[in-house]
Amino acid sequence: MASQVVGPFLLTVLLALLLREQANARVVWVSSGGMYAEPLSVARLEMGPGVYNGTPAYARAKRAQVTLA
């Protein structure tokens, strides 16, 4: 979640002032249909080490990206 959602969001926020100064500046977020496999649940964004499953983790991260964008 940190590398796929929090990092890009933080970078966008930190660059916001510079982006606003440029006429053609853009931020592009890329997601996928994988987000449809999981609903957005803030309480379930992260998985502990003993219960990690890559497919739901990917879907949750993609859903969070789309929600933030």
Query: Per residue in 3-56, pLDDT tens?
Result: 889 999 999 999 999 999 999 999 888 888 989 999 998 888 888 788 889 899
Per-residue model confidence (pLDDT) at position 16 = 93
Per-residue model confidence (pLDDT) at position 43 = 86
Which two structure tokens, joined as six digits, stand for 44? 């379930």
Domain count across the chain: 1
- Domain of residue 42: give its range: 2-68
Record the pTM.
0.79
Count of positions (residues) in the chain: 69
Whole-angstrom distance, CA of residue 33 vs CA of residue 55: 12
